[in-house]
A and B are shown apart, each in its own frame.
Chain A
């Protein structure tokens, strides 16, 4: 999957979990500040992403995923591994 494909798939998840328009889920956006995804919704996004992308995102890692770009980069790094 390309970076853009991962972003788009993640955007669909954020849309489904938090009702945020997928178009606004761009790499430079902060989950909490720009997209208003609260910590509980973030947990749901993470679990859905784990399933979708076949990665493991431990609880300790979640707090480091501040922006959509952080999450996409994490998924890219860990998909291959």
Chain B
């Protein structure tokens, strides 16, 4: 009996480049308050959000992802032809099949890489980074594009007080490839399926059977999710630090999913992060962009000089499912 030749890859992988795309239209709180009988002050107090971006008809899930990916490839100094896999985290690609990833890969001018979407909601980006790390190190791909992209304005009910002011649109991407030193730490991930319906969209069949004039929209049990995210996720973030062998004092940046500034505050407090750790606050003018929020926030911190090449950044993403993933990475 002949043996199967196993695959092998480089010892270590890391993020080689980061890119983002922000939709053109800036939407202040004043534009969303009337439909939910709220106020700018209330929204800022509850979430930290002042403005967000909504994509227009020409800014699609695919086009935003392509723009972000091009920026990430440029930052990494990698040609699209060198990409072996495209992994897209999204919940707002409204075509059930095929995946957004195949269209994105084609538009980028790649050489027929593996391309697929993953459904892990707001936790999707960190799932993608974990997959990419394993893919590179096992030798199944040398360069992986991980993209988080959302057009949540398409699946948000503008009259829902619990979500209308939170969700927004955008895209972020990273290139993961071989590195000389470990640059992506062990992932701590999981799911709390007992509460799988705390954040959800309706079943299409419910919508078709109703008189509702639009597609399924997101709903969220806000207080329950806040409790889980603020406290259970702080413990997961701590485990990701521990598994990477990095102490809070050694950390440079904390880049949690931009779910709500109050969650970020509660997590930072629970983690007892020293004041030297720079904390992502992109949500203030980007809103909650689900799978796109971490790469968007990281891209901005790099642009603003808050994240410098070689810095250690703790990423943690969490959301519908309830699914979560966290890891420490080195900033490219």
Residues of A within 8 A of B (CB): 38-40, 42-44, 46-47, 59, 62
Q: Which of B206-235 contact A (CB under 8 A)?
A: 222-224, 226-227, 230-231
Docked Cα-Cα span, A59 to B226, in Å, equals 11
Whether the pair B227, A43 counts as a contact (CB closer than 8 A) is: yes
Point out the residues of chain B lying under 8 angstroms from A40, CB to CB: 46, 223, 226, 262
Q: Which of B46, B227, B230 neighbours the largest number of chain A CB atoms within 10 Å of its CB?
A: B227
Secondary structure type dominating chain B contacts: helix
Q: Which of B229-280 contact A (CB under 8 A)?
A: 230-231, 262, 266
Whether the pair A47, B45 counts as a contact (CB closer than 8 A) is: no
Closest chain A residue to B195, Cβ basis: A59
Whether the pair B45, A62 counts as a contact (CB closer than 8 A) is: no
User: Can you sample 13 A-B contacts with CB below 8 Å?
Assistant: A38-B45, A39-B223, A40-B223, A40-B226, A40-B262, A42-B223, A43-B226, A44-B230, A44-B266, A46-B227, A47-B230, A47-B231, A59-B223
Docked Cα-Cα span, A44 to B226, in Å, equals 9
Closest chain A residue to B266, Cβ basis: A44
Secondary structure type dominating chain A contacts: helix
Closest chain B residue to A46, Cβ basis: B227
Point out the residues of chain B lying under 8 angstroms from A38, CB to CB: 45-46
Whether the pair B224, A59 counts as a contact (CB closer than 8 A) is: yes
B52 to chain A, nearest CB (A): 19
B230 touches which of A39, A43, A62 (Cβ 8 Å): A43
Bitwise, B34-56 to A at CB < 8 A (1) or not (0) is 00000000000110000000000
Docked Cα-Cα span, A10 to B224, in Å, equals 21
Docked Cα-Cα span, A44 to B223, in Å, equals 10
Bitwise, B77-98 to A at CB < 8 A (1) or not (0) is 0000000000000000000000
Residues of B within 8 A of A (CB): 45-46, 222-224, 226-227, 230-231, 262, 266
Q: Which of A38, A42, A59 neighbours the largest number of chain B CB atoms within 10 Å of its CB?
A: A59
Closest chain A residue to B46, Cβ basis: A40
A30 to chain B, nearest CB (A): 17
Docked Cα-Cα span, A36 to B262, in Å, equals 16
Point out the residues of chain B lying under 8 angstroms from A46, CB to CB: 227
Closest chain A residue to B262, Cβ basis: A40
A sample of 16 more A-B contacts (CB under 8 A), given A39-B223, A40-B262, A43-B227, is A38-B45, A38-B46, A39-B222, A40-B46, A40-B226, A42-B223, A43-B223, A43-B226, A44-B230, A44-B266, A46-B227, A47-B227, A47-B230, A59-B223, A59-B224, A62-B223
Docked Cα-Cα span, A43 to B222, in Å, equals 10
Point out the residues of chain B lying under 8 angstroms from A43, CB to CB: 223, 226-227, 230
A67 to chain B, nearest CB (A): 18
Closest chain A residue to B270, Cβ basis: A47
B28 to chain A, nearest CB (A): 22
B198 to chain A, nearest CB (A): 10
Q: Which of A38, A43, A46, A47 neighbours the largest number of chain B CB atoms within 10 Å of its CB?
A: A43
A73 to chain B, nearest CB (A): 21
Docked Cα-Cα span, A62 to B227, in Å, equals 12
A35 to chain B, nearest CB (A): 15
Point out the residues of chain A lying under 8 angstroms from B45, CB to CB: 38
B268 to chain A, nearest CB (A): 13
Closest chain A residue to B198, Cβ basis: A59
Closest chain A residue to B265, Cβ basis: A44
A27 to chain B, nearest CB (A): 24
Docked Cα-Cα span, A44 to B265, in Å, equals 11
Point out the residues of chain A lying under 8 angstroms from B223, CB to CB: 39-40, 42-43, 59, 62
Point out the residues of chain B lying under 8 angstroms from A59, CB to CB: 223-224, 227
Closest chain A residue to B263, Cβ basis: A40
Docked Cα-Cα span, A62 to B223, in Å, equals 10
Docked Cα-Cα span, A59 to B231, in Å, equals 14
